[in-house]
Amino acid sequence: MGKDNGFLLYQRRENGIEDPLRRIKNYQEFHQPLTKEQRRLQGARCMNCGVPFCQSSLFLHGMTTGCPLHNLIPEWNDEIYRGNPAHALARLIKTNPFPEFTSRVCPALCEKACLCGVNGEPVSIRDNEYAVIADGFALGLMQPRIPQVRSGRAVAVVGSGPSGLAAADRLNQRGHHVEVFERDDKPGGLLMYGIPNMKLDKKVVARRIELMEKEGVIFHTNSDVGRTISAADLQKDFDAVILCCGAKQARSLKLEGSEKAEGILFAVDFLKNATKAVLAEKKAEGAVSAEGKHVVIVGGGDTGNDCVATCLRQNCASVTQLEMMPCPPEKRAKDNPWPEWPRVLKTDYGQEEAIAVFGHDPRIYQTTVAAIETEKGKLKAVHTVKVHFENGKMVQEEGSEQVLPCELLIIAAGFLGCEAYTSKAFNLELNRGRAVTEKDSYRIKDHLFSAGDMHRGQSLVVWAIEEGRACAREVDEDLMGYTNL
């Protein structure tokens, strides 16, 4: 390493963040990068550990710690310190095809496994990654890589989310002809419509799609395989088909009367409509807005937090986020040592903004919605109840009921798996909503594969990218009889 004692000399410094009360006035990204010299010092903090847990992707006690992509983190941290942006970029994209996505939306599994974090502050790996890819584009280093030799094989990828893009990118670079089929009007899947613009600017997604098109990948939008396009025709016209359709079947609360009540939305629909409005600079026809409404969000994860932030930007009257699990501790418990993923309290950007606006944390723990109250068919209030878990089952606590005013109820309670029409179109066997594949494989049957959330279940963008890349390797071997990926 260029600076083997940097972790002793320099303190962790993160990218700047715009004040919450200012940033909620628009849908723009709000992180402010460090200067080049400040970033060099952050790169110098990396110790190049003998066993770099940051890139290990260990599965400990049911959770991943370390990067699933096995990014060569110490190598490009050192190149940052040495001032070699081209070298840093080369080492980064060797394992991660889309660092502009992961450096914005990943919860930084790498940092939680950083050895510096045992007795101090971990290296700012995610911010460093952001700087490397930002420099790559700014300096003109991210040019189309057009394969010089084509294999004569054709692959169809159904779905253009992170796993679909990763599979398409790798197979195209291998020399196969790749066409991606996306049911929405723009490519990107979850990246385009499932993550708000202030977290991942859609210009960043569009830039990557444009680069992939220049490299030879063909994108078909408004192409809903299983509905507007025959699954049988796709399998006939291509040498291999990869299903990267996500886990889009949202989990319902099954509340009495909810089917007919106006004002109840799944988070995925709410966020999609909000992003469409931002891109069109006007409210989408028929879309529901949080403006002037008391909003209750069921779900304490990343999606629920994104909904909180979006509601604030739509000028909601109030926002409450219900979480069924207990409030985690502020520090690691004794049974949660490093390098395990820290099960600790985290206040994300949306919750920070809600605190700034309303003066209190929007989250209420161990609580869910038990019933709804309507007036003339419109949602008026929700009845909440405290819950706890016994033998893995949720139990409602008697006498804990409360009534919250609510004109908009957003359900962000997770996903059950792929949608029924997709599995029916390809005659898939499902296990808990996931496509069943051969053991330790992405292969469903001859020349048909699945990757991402559709294969793994609801997970992180970084895992979807890893799934897409690993699946591409199997597809390549299926097509060529061997693989060098």
* 459 exposure class (CB count in 10 Å sphere: 0-12, 13-18, 19+): middle
pLDDT of residue 305: 98
The pLDDT value recorded for residue 188 is 98
The SS3 call for residue 6 is: helix
Contact 249, 417 (CB under 8 A): yes
Rounded Cα distance between 323 and 284, Å, is: 29
Nearest to 34 by CA among 51, 17, 52, 9: 17
Residue 259 confidence (pLDDT): 87
Token reading at 278: 């931002």
Nearest to 74 by CA among 150, 2, 162, 145: 2
Burial code of 275-289, b = ≥16 C-beta within 10 A, e = fewer?
Answer: bbbbbeeeebeeebb
pLDDT for the residue numbered 284: 67
pLDDT of residue 400: 97
The model's pTM: 0.96
Answer positive or negative: Cα dihedral of 103, 108, 110, 116: positive
* DSSP per-residue string spanning 122-187: PP-HHHHHHHHHHHHHHTT-------SS--S-EEEEE--SHHHHHHHHHHHHHT-EEEEE-SSSST
Rounded-to-integer distance, Cα 395 and Cα 55, Å: 39
- Cα–Cα distance for residue pair 93/208, rounded to 1 Å: 13
Q: Decide: 145 and 159 in contact? Cβ < 8 Å.
A: no
Using CA atoms, how far residue 192 sits from 161, 174, 296, 300, in Å, is 8, 26, 24, 22
Q: What is the pLDDT along the chain (485 residues), one digit of tens a residue?
A: 778 899 999 999 999 999 999 999 999 999 999 999 999 999 999 999 999 999 999 999 889 999 999 999 999 999 999 999 999 999 999 999 999 999 999 999 999 999 999 999 999 999 999 999 999 999 999 999 999 999 999 999 999 999 999 999 999 999 999 999 999 999 999 999 999 999 999 999 999 999 999 999 999 999 999 999 999 999 999 999 999 999 999 999 989 998 889 999 999 999 999 999 999 977 767 789 999 999 999 999 999 999 999 999 999 999 999 999 999 999 999 999 999 999 999 999 999 999 999 999 999 999 999 999 999 999 999 999 999 999 989 999 999 999 999 999 999 999 989 999 999 999 999 999 999 999 999 999 999 999 999 999 999 999 999 999 999 999 999 999 999 99
Note the pLDDT of residue 408.
Answer: 98
Helix (H, G, I), strand (E, B) or coil at 56: coil
Distance between CA 413 and CA 408 in Å, rounded?
A: 15
Dig out the tokens for 182 from the structure.
Answer: 């996306």
Q: Which two tokens stand for residue 478?
A: 């299926």
Q: What does residue 86 show for φ and ψ, rounded to 5 degrees?
A: -65, -40
Specify the pairing of strand 154-158 against strand 31-32: unpaired
Burial class (CB in 10 A: 0-12, 13-18, 19+), 139: exposed
The 318-323 sheet, strands edge to edge: 264-266, 408-411, 294-298, 318-323, 363-365
Predicted confidence at residue 102, as pLDDT, reads 99
CA pair distance 104, 134, nearest whole angstrom: 11
Residue 158: closest CA among 229, 100, 82, 211: 229
- The DSSP bridge pattern shows strands 402-405 and 154-158 to be unpaired
Could you say which DSSP state residue 478 is in? H
For residue 17, give the DSSP letter: E
Report d(CA 28, CA 328) in Å as an integer. Answer: 30
Non-local (6+) Cβ contacts of 37 within 8 A are: none
Give the C-alpha separation, 296 to 372, whole Å: 11
